[in-house]
Structure 1
Amino acid sequence: MSGRRRHSSDMMSTPDRFSYPPSPSPSSYSTYSSEKSTSGRSRVKGAARSVAGVFVACFSPPDEDSNHHSSSAYGGSDAFSSTSDVSGASDSTEGKKRGTARGIYATQNDSTRMREPGSIKFTLAEITAATKNFSPALKVGQGGFGTVYKGQLKDGTLVAVKRAKKSVYDKNLGGEFLSEVQALSKVEHLNLVKCYGYLHHGDERIIVVEYVANGTLREHLECFNGNVLSLASRLDIAIDVAHAITYLHTYTDHPIIHRDIKSSNILLTDKLRAKVADFGFARLAADPESGQTHVSTQVKGTAGYLDPEYLKTYQLTEKSDVYSFGILLVEIFTGRRPVETKRELEERVTARWAMKKFKEGDAISVLDPKLEASDANGMVLEKILELSLHCVNGHRKNRPTMRRCVEVLWNIRKDYKELLD
C-alpha cells in the first residue's frame, strides 16, 4: 500500500531538490492579466522602510492577551507581535526579473468601481452607509486589531470593513498609514483577498477589502457546515495558497513576505477556491538587487507556524513563509491544528508527529480520519508529507521556493487524477 513506504529523511537535513519533473505551465489553470502601474514601483519602494508602521499596528493585537478571535467571513490574527525594524531584504533571487512574466499571478478586477484596487479613499459617510452605522448585526470578526464588519457599497459590491481600535495606532503616523495602504493596494491576485481602499479621517483608520462569505479553511477542516472537504478539494486549496504566496514573493513589483500564513487566514469561496487574507503582519523586503539577504525584525506571527530560524535570528525572509506553508500542508491533510494540547505528548506538535510517522513508513495513519484511507489518498499524503518535510527544514537555505512548491503540488494533483481515472 502506498502509505507504508519507508523513508529515511531527517527534518533538519533535507535537500532542496525533488524527484518530481517540472509541472506543465500553470497558464492552463487560469489566466489573468493586469496592467502594471508605472508609479507602482516608486510607491512601493517609498513604503519599504515603514511597512511595519501604522498599517501593522492598526490590525495587530495591542498586547499579549489579545490572542484569540474568529471571523467566518474574513479571518484574522490570533498572534503575538512586537515592534519592528527594517534592515535588509529577502534572500530570494527570483525577484530580479519580477513583473516580466506574471502569467496567472496577476488578476483583473471586474468591478467598474474597483478599476484601481486599493486606490479608493472612502468617506466616513460611505463607510457608515455600507455598514449601517457599524451595526452590531453586521459584525463578522473581532480581535486585538479592532472589528470587522460586513458591508455593501452603492454599486452592490460586498466588502469587509476592518475598523481599527483607536488605542492601537499612533495618530502621528498618518502618513505612514497612507503610504503602506498604497503599497499593499498594488497586490492583486485571484487567490488574494482584494484591498479596495481605505479611510483615514480624524482618528479613524479603516481598510475596506473583499468580502468572502464561505468561512475560513480552519472552519471547513472542522466541518463547521457539516460538509467534509474532499482530498481533491484540499489539494486544490493547497495549490491556490501556494500560487498566492508565489505571487507575493516573485511577481509583485517588490517582494512581499506575508508572515502569517495559517488556516484561519485562508478564506474559501462558495466554489472552495482559496483566498489568502490578513496582511496585518506583511513586510516589504528590500530590492533583491541590493544584495541584502533579509529583513531584521522582532518576531511576529502565530505560534505553531513560526519559522524557528526566524525566532532564533530575527532574520525574516521569504523562506519563513515557506516554513509556515509546510505546517499548513500538514494541517490541511491531517485535519489537526499545528499544536494540539489535549493530545498525547508525542502527538501534540502535529508536524513533528506526522513527519515521524512518515519516516517510519506509516504515513497513512496521519490522514484526516474523515477521509478514506485508499491507495490514491495514501499516495497523495506521502508526497505531501515529503514536500512538507522540505518546507519545515530547520535551515532556510534547504527549503524550496514557493514556486517550486507549486510545481510539486501540480504534479501531485496530476498523479492523483491519473490514479482515479
Structure 2
Amino acid sequence: MDRHWLLSPFNHFHLLFLFLYLFFSLATSLNRDGQILLRLRACLSDPNGVFASWDGANDTPCNWTGISCNPITSAVEAINLDNLNLSGDFPAMACQIPTLKNLSLGDNNLGNGISQRDISLCFRLHYLNLGYNIFSGPLPEFLPEFAELRWLNLSGCNFSGDIPASFGQFPRLQNLTLGNNLLNGTIPPFLTNLTDLIALEIGYNPFTPSPLPLEIGKLEKLQNLWVATANLIGKIPESIGKLGSLANLDLSGNMLTGSIPESIGGLKSVTQIELYDNQLSGFLPVSLGNLKSLKNFDVSFNNLSGKWPEEFARNSLVSINLYMNNLEGPIPEVLGLNTELENLVIYDNKFSGQLPANLGRNSNLVMLDVARNLLEGNLPPYLCRRNKLEILTITGNKFSGQLPESYSHCTSLIRVRIGDNPITGNIPSSFWGLPRVLFLDLSNMKLEGPISSDIAKARNLSHLNVSGNGFSGNLPESLCLLRELAKVDAGTNSFSGPLPYCLTQMRNLQRLNLTGNRFSGEIPASVGSWVSMVMLDLSNNSFSGSIPPELGYLLLLNYLDLSLNSFTGSIPEELGNLPLRFFNVSYNNLSGKVPKAFDDTGFLHSLIGNSHLCSPDLKPLPTCKRPGNIKQLWYLTAILVILAILAFSCVLCLYRKYRVRIHQRPGLQNHSSSPWRIIPFHRLSLKEDEILSSIDEANLIGSGGSGKVYKARLKCGEIVAVKRLFLTGKQDFDGGFQAEVETLGKIRHKNIVKLLCCLFKSDMKILVYEYMENGSLGALLHGSKGGELGWEKRLEIAVGSACGLAYLHHDCEPAVVHRDVKANNILLGGDYSARVADFGLAKLLPRRSCGDGSEMSSVAGSYGYIAPEYGYTLKVNEKSDIYSFGVMLLELVTGRQPIDSSFGENRDVVKWVNDAACSGALDEVHDSRFTSPTPLQKMQMENVLSLALLCTSPVPNSRPSMRRVLQVLKDVQWHPFNTAKGFSSHNIS
C-alpha cells in the first residue's frame, strides 16, 4: 500500500469515520437482543414484578433476571423464566435472538395454542421447556430445520390430539417429555426413529388404546422410558431387552397382556421396573436373575402365576412388590441372605411353605406384608433384628406356634396385623407396650391369657383388635391411658368383670365391641363422655342394671347392640334421638312401654325376649294397660291445661324483665332495642345473657377479617366459642353471616365445626360454635408449640381436614365450595381432631356447575392460598379448594407459611417445593423440627408432598378430586409404600 495514502489528512478522516461506523454498528448489534427482550416483556403479564430488572437503559441484557449471555461476546444464549407466574401467549419473538440456544418457560400460566408459525422461529434452539403451562389445542408442528434440538419438554399442559409426524424427525433429540397432557391419538411408531433419545416420557395421557412400538429396542441409548397410565395394550415387545442403557422402565397402570418377555433380562443397567396394574400373565422370567443393578421391582396387581425363580431371589433388591397375583410355591430361602431388602410386599397370592428362616437377619427390613397366602410354620425370629421393621402384616395364613419373643423388643413397629392364623400361647407383656404401634390386630387366633397392663406404654395406639381368641381376665385400667385409642374390638373372648369406669373418659373412642364375653355389672352413667362413639356392641354378656339414658346423647352413635344381657327397667326415650342404623336390646329383662321411636314392626326383632315390654299396637308384644276411665282422663287433662297456662304466664313475665335487663347492660347500650332472635341447630341449654356476657376483651381468643371470637363458659359447664361478626354498611344478614348460617346450619359431620346456634338482631350478628381446645392449625403450627406437633398428628389432621372437605364437595347437595381453605380455618380439638371452620365465603355450587364453576364478582380468599386461575377468570369451583388444600399440605410437611421471605424473591411455598422436587432435594424441605424421622415417616412425607404438588398444579383439570385426595392420604397413612408409585391427575382423579 502507498504510504503517502496513509499520511493523507483526508484518508485519516476516512479511517476515523470507518472506525466509528464499525464501533456503533457493533454497539447496536449488542443492544438488539435487549430490544427484542423488551418487546417480549410487553407481551407477558408479570404479577410478581420479575421484569423489574429489565431496564432499557442498560447496554446489554446480560444482568437481567433469567438472562444468560456468552461471556466473550455478551450475546444472549439462554432465557430461563421458570416458575415466575407469567401469563400470556407463547412469546415467539424471543427466538428472534439469533444466538439463543436455551428457552425455558416452564411452570407458568402461558396459554392458548402454539402454531407452526410461532414455533418455526425457534429452529436454532438446543433446549425448549414449556412444561406445566396451560397451553391447549394440538401439539405444534416442527419444521425439519430443528436439527440442533436436544431437549423438548411440553408436559403438564392441555395439549390434545395426535403426536405430529414431525416429532419423529429430530436428529439429535435426547429428551422428549410429553406426559400429563390430554393427547388422545395413538402412540406412533415413528418415535423409535429418535435413536439419540436418553429419556422418553409420554405417560399419563389418554391415548387411544395402542401397543408400545415393536421397534422400541432401536432406542439403545434410552435411560428412562416412562409410559405409565397411557392406555397401552398388547404385549411388551421382545425388543425391550435391547435397551441395555435403560435405568427406569415404567409401564404401570395400563392394559398390557401376555407374559413378561424373557428378553427383559437384557436390561443390564436397569434399577427400577414398574409393571404394576396391568393384565400380565404367565411366569416371572428366570432371566430376571441377570438384572444385578435392579433395586425396585413392582409387578403387583396382574395375573401372573407360577413360582418365584430362585435366580431372581438372589438379586440384591431393595423393594419387591408382587402382591395381587396368582404366584405360588415357596418363597426362596436365599431371600434371607439379601443384605439390602427393605420392603417385601406379596399379599394376595398363593405362596406356600415357610418364610425364609433368616428373613430380616441380614438387612434393614422395614415392611413385610405377606397377608392372605398359604404360608405356614413358625414365624422367623429375625424379622426385626435391626429394629427397623415398621409394618408387619401376616394375616390370613396358616402360621402356627407362638409369637417369637424377639418381636416384643421390636420398638420400631407401627402397624401390626398378625390375625387369622392358628398362633397359640400367651403374648409377651412387653409386646403389648410397643411404644410406636398405631394399629394392633391379633384377631381370630388361639391366644390366651390377659391383656398386660404394659399396654399403657403403647401411647400411640389407635386401633386394637384382639377378637376371636381365648383372652381372659379383666380389661386392664391402664387401657384408659391410651388417649389416641379410637377402636377396640375384644369380642368373642373370655374377658370378665365390670367395665373399667375410666373407660368412659376416653373421648376419642369411636368403636367398642365386647360381644361374646363374660362382662358383668352396670354400664356407667358417665358414658355421655363418649362423644365420638359410632358403634357400641356389648351383646352376649352378663351386664345388668338399667340402660343409661345418657347413651341417647351420643349424637354420632349409629350402631347399638345390648342384646343377650340382663338389663332391667325401661328402654330410655332418649335412645330415639340417635341416628341408628342398627339397634338391638332383645333377650334382656326390660319392661314398660316401647318408646315411640321403636314402636314399629321394623324393630320387632330388636325387642323380642323381653317379656315385660308392652306396646299399644306392636304384636306379639302385650298391649299396655290404658290409664283410668274417660272421666278421670278429662279431669287430668283440664288440670294440665290450667298448669300450662300458669307456667306460660310466669315465663312471659320473666322474659320481659330479663329483656329489660339485657338492654340496660353497659356493654350493649349503643345497640338497638330490637329483640334477639335465636336459631338453634343442636340441642344446647343456654341463655342470651350467657353469650352476651362473654363478649369481653378478657375472653378474646381470636380475630379475623369477619369478626372476633370469644371463649364462653356456660352455666352447665360446657365451653363454647362465640363469634361476633363485624358489620359495615350493608354487610348484614346478606353477607358472611348468611353464608355461614346457611352452610353450617345444615351440615352434620365430625370434621366440620358445629354451629350450635345463632343470635341476631338488626345491628348485631353472633354465631355460637363448639369450642376447639387447641385453636387453629395455623396458630399452632407456626407458633412456639409447632415443634410439639409431630408428623403422625399432622398426617391425622390432613386426613381429618380432607374428610370434611370431601363431604362438602361430594356429599352435600348442592356441593359447597369453601373458598377460604387455609391452616387458620382448620380448628383442632383437645385430641387434635380437625374441623373445617369459617364458612363466611362459602358458595353453593349446583352439580351441573361443578366442572365449569360459578363466576364471582371479585377474588376472595387468603394470600398464598388462592388458585392461580381464580385471579384471572374469577370462576370458582371445587378445584379452587383443592389448590388451597394442597398449599396447606405443604405447610404441614415443611412447617413454613405459604409466603415466606426465605423462599427468595417472587416465590411462595408451592414454587419453593416444586424447585426442590425438580432438583431431587425434597428431603431438604421437611420441617427441621422433625427430629430423626424414620424411613416410614420420610416415605409418608414424600408421598404427601407429591400429592400436594398435584393439588397445586397450575392446570385445574390436573388436580385430583377431594374424594381421591382423601383416599390417597388414607393410603399414605396406612400403606405408604404402596402409595409411593408416583402421582398424577389421571391415576388419582
Q: Give the TM-score category using the shorter length.
A: 0.5 to 0.7
Alpha-carbon distance in 2 for matches of 1:410, 1:203: 45
Q: Does the C-alpha gap of structure 1 residues 416 and 229 become closer, same or farther in structure 2, counting only changes over 3 Å?
A: farther
Match of 1:149 in 2: 710
2:780 alignment partner, SS class: helix
Distance in 2 between the 1:273 and 1:236 partners?
8
Match of 1:368?
Answer: 927
Task: Determine the structure 2 residue equivalent to 1:349.
Answer: 908
Q: Distance in 1 between matches of 2:736 and 2:925?
A: 46
User: Equivalent of 2:881, from 321, 330, 337?
Assistant: 321
Q: Does 1:201 align with 2:795?
A: no
1:210 Cα offset (Å): 1.4
Give the direction of change, closer, same or farther, for the CA distance of 1:10–1:380 in structure 2 (3 Å limit).
farther
Contact preservation (8 Å) 1:376, 1:416: yes
Contact 2:707/2:723 (CA < 8 Å) preserved in 1?
A: yes
Q: Please state how far the C-alpha of 1:343 moved relative to its aligned partner.
A: 4.3
Give the equivalent residue in structure 2 for 1:100.
none
Aligned partners of 2:781 and 2:895 also within 8 Å = yes
Structure 2 residue aligned with 1:409? 969
Match of 2:872 in 1: 312
What is the Cα deviation at residue 397 of structure 1? 1.3
Q: Kindly report which structure 2 residues correspond to 1:10-89, keeping only aligned pairs within 5 A, or say none.
A: 11-12=132-133, 13=156, 14=180
Deviations 1:41-91 (A, max 9, x none): xxxxxxxxxxxxxxxxxxxxxxxxxxxxxxxxxxxxxxxxxxxxxxxxxxx
1:158 and 2:158 aligned: no
Question: Displacement, 1:339?
Answer: 0.8
Partner of 1:244: 804
SS of corresponding position for 2:975: helix
* Deviation larger for 10-19 or 363-372: 10-19
Would you say 1:232 and 2:792 are equivalent positions? Answer: yes
What is the aligned-residue RMSD (CA, Å)?
3.7
Question: Does the 8 Å contact 2:713/2:719 carry over to 1?
Answer: yes
Structure 1 CA distance, aligned partners of 2:744 and 2:765? 15
**Kept after mapping to 2: 8 A contact 1:151/1:161:** yes
| Match 2:852 to one of 290, 293, 306 | 293
- Which of 891, 913, 917 aligns to 1:358? It is 917
Structure 2 CA distance for aligned equivalents of residues 291 and 137 of structure 1: 44
- The equivalent of 2:938 in structure 1 is 378
Q: CA deviation at 1:221?
A: 1.8
Q: CA offset at residue 198 of structure 1?
A: 0.8
Deviation at 1:131, TM superposition (A): 4.8
Q: Is the 8 A contact 1:364 1:373 kept in 2?
A: no
Contact 1:260 1:301 in 2 (8 A): yes
Q: Call closer, same or farther: CA 1:217–1:183 in 2, change over 3 Å.
A: closer
Residue 817 of structure 2 corresponds to residue 257 of structure 1? yes
Distance 2:945 2:922 in 1: 8
**Rounded Cα–Cα distance in structure 1 between residues aligned with 2:130 and 2:791:** 25
CA contact (8 A) 1:358 1:382 kept: no
Aligned to 2:826: 266
Match of 1:393 in 2: 953
Could you tell me how far 1:243 is from its partner in structure 2? Answer: 0.6
Which residue of structure 1 lines up, in the alignment, with residue 693 of structure 2? 132
**Could you tell me how far 1:333 is from its partner in structure 2?**
0.3
Contact 1:306 1:324 in 2 (8 A): yes
The 8 Å contact of residues 259 and 301 in structure 1, kept in 2 or not, is answered as yes
User: Is the CA contact (8 Å cut-off) linking 1:140 and 1:150 kept in structure 2?
Assistant: yes
Contact conserved, 1:261 with 1:325, CA < 8 A, in 2? Answer: yes
Q: Which residue of 2 aligns with 1:276?
A: 836
Q: SS where residue 711 of structure 2 aligns?
A: strand
Contact persistence 1:216–1:266 (CA under 8 A): yes
Deviation at 1:155, TM superposition (A): 3.8
Change (3 A) 1:301 1:126: same
Describe the superposition over 1:85-110 as per-residue Cα deviations: whole angstroms up to 9, x where unpaired.
Answer: xxxxxxxxxxxxxxxxxx99xx9469
Counterpart contact for 1:216–1:264, Cα < 8 Å: yes
Q: Does 1:338 align with 2:898?
A: yes
In 2, Cα distance between the equivalents of 1:378 and 1:327?
19
CA 168–340 in structure 1, closer or farther in 2 if over 3 Å, else same: farther
How far did 1:208 drift? 1.2
Paired AA for residue 386 in structure 1:
S
Matches within 5 A, 1:115-126: 119-120=679-680, 126=687
Structure 1 residues 99-131: Cα deviation after superposition (integer angstroms, max 9, x where no partner): xxxx99xx9469x9xx89x94189xx9343235
Q: Distance in 1 between matches of 2:853 and 2:953?
A: 18
Deviates more, 1:129-138 or 1:311-320: 129-138
Moved more, 379-388 or 215-224: 215-224
> 1:96 is matched with which residue?
none
Aligned residues: 324
Q: Secondary structure at the match of 2:940?
A: helix
1:304-342 CA distances to partner (integer Å, 9 max, x unpaired)?
Answer: 000111111111000100001111111100000011025
Report if the CA contact (8 A) 1:220-1:227 is conserved.
Answer: no
TM-superposition CA deviations, 1:232-255 (whole Å, max 9, x none): 111111111111100000112320
- Structure 2: state its 5+ residue gaps: 1-128, 134-155, 157-179, 181-203, 206-228, 230-251, 254-275, 278-300, 302-461, 464-533, 536-553, 558-573, 579-677, 980-989
* Aligned mates of 1:218, 1:292 — CA distance in 2: 30
Maintained 8 Å contact 1:216/1:268: yes
- CA distance in structure 1 between the aligned counterparts of 2:741 and 2:731, rounded to whole angstroms: 16
Which one-letter code corresponds to 2:819 in the other structure? R
2-structure distance, mates of 1:191, 1:301: 21
Q: For residue 293 of structure 1, what is the amino acid of its counterpart?
A: D
CA distance in 2, matches of 1:178, 1:291: 22
2:189 is aligned with 1:189? no
Distance 1:418 1:343, change over 3 A: closer
- TM-score normalised per structure 1: 0.67
Over alpha carbons, which structure has the higher Rg?
Answer: 2
Q: Which residue of 2 aligns with 1:5?
A: none
Tell me the amino acid that sits aligned with residue 264 of structure 1.
N
Asked whether the equivalents of residues 737 and 840 of structure 2 are also in contact (C-alpha less than 8 Å), the reply is: no
Identity value in percent = 32
Q: 1:374 to 1:147 in 2, by over 3 A?
A: same
Task: Give the whole-Å Cα distance in 2 for the aligned partners of 1:414 and 1:271.
Answer: 20
* Of 329-338 and 384-393, the range deviating more from structure 2: 384-393
Shift of 1:396: 1.2
Q: Cα distance 1:407–1:138, how it changes in 2: closer, same or farther (>3 A)?
A: same
Where 1:409 maps in the other structure, the secondary structure is helix
